[in-house]
Structure 1
Amino acid sequence: MSAPSTARPVRRYLVTGAAGCLGAWVVAELLAAGQEVVATDLTEDRRRLELVRLRPSDDVPWARLDVTDLDALTAVLTENAITDVIHLAGLQVPFCAADPPLGAAVNVVGTVNVFEAVRRLERRTGLVYASSAAVFGAASVSGGHGVRDDALPDPGTHYGVFKVANEGTAQQYWRESGVASVGLRPFVVFGVGRDQGRTSSATSAMLSAVVGDRFELPGGGPALLTLARDCARWFIAACDLSLTRGGCDVWNVPGQTVRLDDLPALIDAHVPGAADLITVGAGAPSAVPSRLEDPALHRVLGRDIDTPLATAVAETVAHFRQALALGILPGTASSPPSSADVPSSPRSTS
């Protein structure tokens, strides 16, 4: 008799915000694991997904979807027999600051719609959504103490306020409807595909070094860095947990603390001469906490997902070099954004 198979059953995931960096990595990791994926976004731009996969991605099922449209969202879930949802769609800090009503529509109403659409399925569905370290404000970083998963929120931006609201939405859907979920709070995500947003400078510095451009990091304070691939793996694993644990847990995404003024030397170890190209400005330190205290994800899932920072930098540099050799890397970190780098709609994600 042959041994029983230990292969993971194939499921069908809906990924919102698939055109963004984290969305691209989640889609790529799921496909690499043999899972079925329906990628959705308001845009059909697969640039980041192709960069992450180092190959064309026309074969990936893709649906244009506005998460503020509940009927459309419900239809996509139903028509594609979705078993799991990884919700990443949303507007970043600058877009929410520029247009708070639109930010609330996409980030808050859009998330309510995801929960409502899952509730309407009337079947157990894995669900994980992206909260953010932005729920913690300046008070959370005073004194240099690590932030806990159960720390009280203290947002300092509209974006952070919207993410706090989403965590409350998850609680209510669990209490009132039994919709289980896990919310994850990434801190500073870096790696291939991280080309936009307030905290993308670490990745831009690596790409600049690879192509031989100068780049200035904005300030040398500490930051909690998480490799984009690791972050994607945390989301996928957490989606599984939402089915097995029930409830509405919200957890911080682990990473490694580094001072940004130490980053040029780390890059220089893999790109000789990078320390001369990458400088550090005098910008104000980030108001986002840079250390975690006893992260629950480590207790629940272990530390196997964590990639050592030096290894992560080396892998990112190698990936950029391969992308350049294949001719699929659009522009450079220090180039002004082209029309392809700017969301065609403010509801597009990054």
Structure 2
Amino acid sequence: MQILVTGGAGFLGAWICRRLSRRGDGVRILDRAGSGDLLVAIAGARFAADCEWVHGDITDAEAVASTARGCDAIIHLAGILTLACKEDPIRGAAVNLIGTLNVFEAALRHGIPKVVYTSSAGVYGPQSGEHPVPVSQYGAFKLACEGSARAYFADHGLPSIGFRPYVVYGPGRESGLSAGPSLACRAAARGEAYVFPYEGAAGLVYVDDVAAAYESALRHDVPGAHVFNMIGEQATPEDVIAALRELAPDCDIRTGGAAMPSAPDIAEGPLRDVLPDVPFTPLRDGIARTFAFYRDGSL
């Protein structure tokens, strides 16, 4: 298959591309980033060199459409995170919402039969893990994207699968409010001090489990417009610190951040009923792998 991956130069994109490379898929990346360093670190230099790179902006509808021509599916990852949306809601809407509409329009134009996209557990506010009531601009934009995906199926029969990962952690996750577990691993591996940017329980899901879910979504034909929670293992910063102290007993990792803006009790739901091959990595294993990456570069 020829797969367009928007935002493929980023953290999650690198891990998804790593899996696509093992499948032998052709990959075309649309990204504003000028560097593929993270893709090289995660997927390898040979695969990064084989990818087709298009430097463009997800808010440019014609750029998205022209880049999508000839592709068999689109994995849409391009977006900006919670704090950036808070600081500039207009840009947040342009990137996260209009950018997503550009992807669906490109799929329609070229007859691309499947869109797999990223939503977020941020669609849930802090009060309920059952009913999406976001309190952040980021969560509001992501919830709107889910509604638009349903409309594209209702109006045009275009199938899609969206994923709502909670806190995604692992090698390469170094930005965003919820990067705390990954940055704590990096600090512990380097002998540096670190203070978690958030407090409270959250679902921590290892990045390769998320990448596997996207890969599985490409393989399975699931009619309709679906959205699945990806929760991983419920854990607090204290749980992460305890796991790190098994690896680095003298690490200086502390708590002290603000409360997470999403409910701690979000259930995973029917994800594994529909995509039964999605793996689950226990927290201790995921923390150990992340620590090892920052200690010596191993994956």
Aligned counterpart in structure 2 of residue 15 of structure 1, from 5, 21, 42 = 5
Structure 2 unmatched runs, 5+: none
**Residue pairs, 1:49-128, within 5 angstroms:** 49-53=39-43, 55=45, 57-78=48-69, 81-123=70-112, 125-128=113-116
**TM-score, normalised by the number of residues in structure 1:** 0.80
Number of matched residues? Answer: 297
Aligned to 1:43: 33
Aligned to 2:230: 253
Aligned counterpart in structure 2 of residue 29 of structure 1, from 19, 26, 30 = 19
Whether 1:263 aligns to 2:251 is: no
Seen in structure 2, the aligned counterparts of structure 1 residues 54 and 206 have a Cα distance that, compared at 3 Å, is farther
SS of the counterpart of 1:194?
coil
For residues 35-61 of structure 1, what are the alpha-carbon distances to aligned partners after superposition, in whole Å with 9 as ceiling and x for unaligned?
Answer: 211112012221221222354633322
**Residue pairs, 1:131-170, within 5 angstroms:** 131-140=119-128, 147=129, 151-170=130-149
One-letter amino acid of the structure 1 residue matched with residue 272 of structure 2: H
Aligned to 1:197: 176
- Give the Cα separation in 2 of the matches to 1:85 and 1:95: 25
One-letter amino acid of the structure 2 residue matched with residue 189 of structure 1: V
Aligned to 1:287: 261
Q: Which has the higher contact order (CA 8 A, sep 6+)?
A: 1
Answer with 1 or 2: which has the greater Rg: 1
Shift of 1:294: 5.1
**Residue pairs, 1:152-231, within 5 angstroms:** 152-231=131-210
- Give the Cα separation in 2 of the matches to 1:225 and 1:126: 28
Aligned counterpart in structure 2 of residue 309 of structure 1, from 258, 283, 289 = 283
One-letter amino acid of the structure 2 residue matched with residue 51 of structure 1: A
Shift of 1:157: 1.0
Shift of 1:19: 1.8
One-letter amino acid of the structure 1 residue matched with residue 84 of structure 2: F
Aligned-residue Cα RMSD (Å) equals: 1.7
Seen in structure 2, the aligned counterparts of structure 1 residues 269 and 210 have a Cα distance that, compared at 3 Å, is same
One-letter amino acid of the structure 1 residue matched with residue 22 of structure 2: A
For residues 33-86 of structure 1, what are the alpha-carbon distances to aligned partners after superposition, in whole Å with 9 as ceiling and x for unaligned?
Answer: 2221111201222122122235463332211121111112111111xx210110
Q: Between the two proteins, what is the percent identity of the paired residues?
A: 35
For residues 95-150 of structure 1, what are the alpha-carbon distances to aligned partners after superposition, in whole Å with 9 as ceiling and x for unaligned?
Answer: 11111111111111110110011011125x2211111111111221xxxxxx3xxx
Structure 1 unmatched runs, 5+: 1-10, 141-146, 325-350
Seen in structure 2, the aligned counterparts of structure 1 residues 159 and 294 have a Cα distance that, compared at 3 Å, is closer
Q: Which runs of 4+ in 1 moved over 4 A?
A: none
SS of the counterpart of 2:49?
coil
- Give the Cα separation in 2 of the matches to 1:304 and 1:69: 33
SS of the counterpart of 1:249?
strand
Shift of 1:286: 1.0
One-letter amino acid of the structure 1 residue matched with residue 154 of structure 2: R
**TM-score, normalised by the number of residues in structure 2:** 0.94
- Give the Cα separation in 1 of the matches to 2:123 and 2:213: 19
CA contact (8 A) 1:27 1:39 kept: no
- Give the Cα separation in 2 of the matches to 1:278 and 1:12: 43
